[in-house]
Structure 1
Amino acid sequence: MNWLLPDHISDALPHEAANIERLRRATLDLFRSHGYELVQPPLLEFLDSLLTGSGSDLKLRTFKLVDQLSGRTLGVRADMTPQVARIDAHLLNRRGVTRLCYCDSVLHTLPTSQAASREPIQLGAELYGYAGIEADLEALRLLALALKAAGTPASRIDVGHVGVFRALANAAGLNGSEEEGLLQLLQTKDVPGLRDFCSRIAAPYGAALMLLPELFGGDELLDSAANRLPDLPEIREALATLKQLRAALPDLPLSFDLADLRGYHYHNGVVFAAYYPGYPSAIARGGRYDGVGANFGRARPATGFSMDLREIARLAGNGETTGAILAPWALDNAALADKIAALRAQGEVVVELLPGQEENDGLLCDRRLVQQSGEWIIQVIDGK
């Protein structure tokens, strides 16, 4: 059947589309109120530019095609963050702090989960040019505000630091392939495989790497990790950063997970993931990715986050909606046309009944515009 869509690709019907658009406008306005400027990168780019500095994970998720004009390989974006980093580093080329936000569709070769869309609407905010922890604090606060404003407040925000794993891997002398193998075992939570792998690593680093899946929890986790992990400078610094975040954000539901290494090839500092009650995976992710702009000619400190607006809208529900006002056809009635224009200027939805159209012909109106004693007034439709 020609009208069927590919797996994990779907239309957004009126109620869903209206909810997505409402949340898009509200969230981008929230970002704007915090100084984040909207950018709109292109849907596709030359593949080498699109994947610059993003690691192998993004390469596997990116659709590829040949450009009929240049003969070069193009990619359909699977993540807008590298594009925004390119804009900051190469096009804007500003000195000091730059705040950018974005919202548009991306395309994945495979869904990230059984229920996920392959065409998420990626909404995010990025802060460039500031290496201090205050930028991470701002990103976490803005993420929490955005989720709350959307009606999907985070029940938990897991925070980690990729520096812990990186310090242990370096101290253990792992080569690139060994590090990749260990990373895969941690991400798939393959405990038997992890135990076998770590048994071949010299003490104390093998035992420390074996501990990572256990190092998650509340505030007490940070002290426990300091006591149980080797006393390496990079680990001390990472745990101190996480303690600073906890102290500065007492109002946020922070917890800690030192084994969350998704985006490891991309991030290089604090990472975080927000969760919503009853939803099996993170609804938003972010973290620090300093230096990615170097591939575009200018290294910049960077931190930010993104979420799938389509999924956020589904979790948030339809929100409060007001029905439309049904009005007679107004082309030949100046007074009626003026009344309709005034109502629309006030934010009302007014639907004109076309000549010969039945009142109940697919119209979602709960009020009608009627004329009484020469005045046009709004009247509630019975049963609405």
Structure 2
Amino acid sequence: MALPRWALPEHFEDVLPQSAARIERLRRLLLDEFRLHGYQLVIPPSVEFLDSLASGTGADMADAMYKFVDQYSGRTMALRADTTPQVTRIDAHLLNRSGVTRLCYCGPVVHVEPRSMSASREPLQVGAELYGHAGIEADVEVLRLLARTLQLAGTRSSRIDVGHVGIFRALSAMAGLGGEAERTLFRILQAKDVPALKDFVAGLAEPARSALMILPELYGNANVLVRARSLLPDVAGVREALDQMLHLAKHLGEQPLSFDLADLRGYHYHSGLMFAAYCGNSPTALALGGRYDAVGAAFGRPRPATGFSLDLRELAALSVTAGEAGAILAPQEEDPALQDCIAALRAAGEVVMLALPGHRGCWREAGCDRQIIKQDNAWGVVPLQD
């Protein structure tokens, strides 16, 4: 049976007026907040050459992109599945600033497969990226901005999980792993598959064997970092990672931070701290972020970088902020006093809708909950009469 012409592909959807208004209010609110923190808005194109979109942070998203051949150049192009590689390209190649650069963005991305059964294949991605500062101060700033983002949306995070790819890389190097062996270890740790991990590390030398075996158990509050110091080898990569996470625990004590030393999402491009924010009982992360130094090398200029992104549609759906008042219905009259009343209401931010002739009893459907009527020779606003 053929689908009707109005049907959409699975996991794509129209955003109807009420939801669209909520999303747009939140978009303006967040971008204005980012601007107050010095983050400048950029708007990259939705389509680029594949080799650009699949570089750096986009490497893990290559299979998620829709690809096609550009009829102008003959090269393979793709719809972006993540905006971060594009913002990195702008920082490295177009702006080319010597100091710190703060950039933000908001726009749709498209995925071949949804992230979860309830997710859209066209997320509206919003995010902020900080380039040019390698110190922990940048990570603290970005995490605070993420927390502020969730606060403005009325969706305070239930927890922010923090990991650090430096621990995995230091222990992997200590064990002499590389290539496919390292990728296998990554998959095992991501799955928290303890029996498979036990088999994998059986032939490794100490102390790498014991350290890798204990990683899945090292999660919880800041106390787990103290425990990790006593259980993991005191080598540069491990020591630096634990120092940075302890710094976050000290300076972001007001945030619901938890630490997971076996959380390795995006380890192919992340170079340090990684974090994921969760809200309520959702099993999937609402926001993802972390440090990805040197990713700009693909565009000719490696730079320290850290940032976060999230799906504005998903955020708006979870938002508990109050909605706007309904519109005001105005009669079709040329009375100058009425026109002055309408102009004053619109200047105050009210939506005023003219009642076109021939339509009765349908204005609530259009969003009206009040109307302008004339009483005692003066125009005023009253509840909409059914």
TM-score bin (small chain) = over 0.9
336, 339, 347: which one aligns with 2:349: 347
Measure the CA separation in 2 of the matches of 1:16 and 1:200: 56
Measure the CA separation in 2 of the matches of 1:189 and 1:7: 31
Aligned partner of 1:213 in structure 2 is 216
Matched residue type, 2:111:
H
Matched residue type, 1:207:
S
Is 1:162 the equivalent of 2:165? yes
Measure the CA separation in 2 of the matches of 1:322 and 1:366: 8
Secondary structure of 2:57's aligned partner: coil
- Are the counterparts in 1 of residues 50 and 78 from structure 2 also a CA contact under 8 Å? yes
Deviation at 1:382, TM superposition (A): 5.0
Measure the CA separation in 2 of the matches of 1:333 and 1:297: 65
Secondary structure of 1:272's aligned partner: strand
Deviation at 1:350, TM superposition (A): 0.8
Q: Deviations over 1:326-363 (max 9, x none)?
A: 11124x44432332122111100111111111133423
Aligned partner of 1:244 in structure 2 is 247
- Are the counterparts in 1 of residues 58 and 85 from structure 2 also a CA contact under 8 Å? no
TM-score by length of 2: 0.96
Matched residue type, 2:176:
G
Matched residue type, 1:161:
H
Aligned partner of 1:88 in structure 2 is 91
For 1:276-291, what aligned pairs fall within 5 Å after superposition?
Answer: 276-291=279-294
Aligned partner of 2:106 in structure 1 is 103
Aligned partner of 1:12 in structure 2 is 15
Aligned partner of 1:149 in structure 2 is 152
For these two proteins, the number of residue pairs brought into alignment is 382
- Are the counterparts in 2 of residues 19 and 318 from structure 1 also a CA contact under 8 Å? no
Measure the CA separation in 1 of the matches of 2:345 and 2:253: 45
Is 1:294 the equivalent of 2:292? no
Aligned partner of 1:76 in structure 2 is 79
- Are the counterparts in 1 of residues 57 and 292 from structure 2 also a CA contact under 8 Å? no
**Comparing 318-327 and 253-262, the one that deviates more:** 318-327
Measure the CA separation in 2 of the matches of 1:97 and 1:272: 22
Secondary structure of 2:238's aligned partner: helix
Measure the CA separation in 2 of the matches of 1:347 and 1:164: 53
322, 327, 338: which one aligns with 1:324: 327
TM-score by length of 1: 0.96
Q: Deviations over 1:158-177 (max 9, x none)?
A: 11110000101111011210
- Are the counterparts in 1 of residues 69 and 77 from structure 2 also a CA contact under 8 Å? yes
For 1:1-384, what aligned pairs fall within 5 Å after superposition?
Answer: 1=3, 2-54=5-57, 56-317=59-320, 319-330=322-333, 332-361=334-363, 362-382=365-385
Matched residue type, 1:102:
Y
- Are the counterparts in 2 of residues 158 and 274 from structure 1 also a CA contact under 8 Å? yes
Runs of 4+ residues over 6 Å off in structure 1: none
- Are the counterparts in 1 of residues 155 and 320 from structure 2 also a CA contact under 8 Å? no
Ranges in structure 1 where 5+ consecutive residues have no aligned partner: none
Measure the CA separation in 2 of the matches of 1:55 and 1:102: 16
Deviation at 1:299, TM superposition (A): 1.1
Q: Deviations over 1:255-303 (max 9, x none)?
A: 1111111111111001111111111121111111111111111111111
Matched residue type, 1:356:
G
- Are the counterparts in 2 of residues 19 and 319 from structure 1 also a CA contact under 8 Å? no
Ranges in structure 2 where 5+ consecutive residues have no aligned partner: none
| RMSD across aligned positions (CA) | 1.4
Matched residue type, 1:13:
L
Deviation at 1:317, TM superposition (A): 4.5
Deviation at 1:208, TM superposition (A): 1.5
Measure the CA separation in 2 of the matches of 1:294 and 1:122: 24
Q: In percent, how many aligned pairs have the same letter?
A: 58
Deviation at 1:12, TM superposition (A): 0.9
- Are the counterparts in 1 of residues 30 and 149 from structure 2 also a CA contact under 8 Å? yes
Secondary structure of 1:54's aligned partner: helix
- Are the counterparts in 1 of residues 65 and 79 from structure 2 also a CA contact under 8 Å? yes
Matched residue type, 1:353:
A
Q: Deviations over 1:203-234 (max 9, x none)?
A: 22122212211110011100111111122111
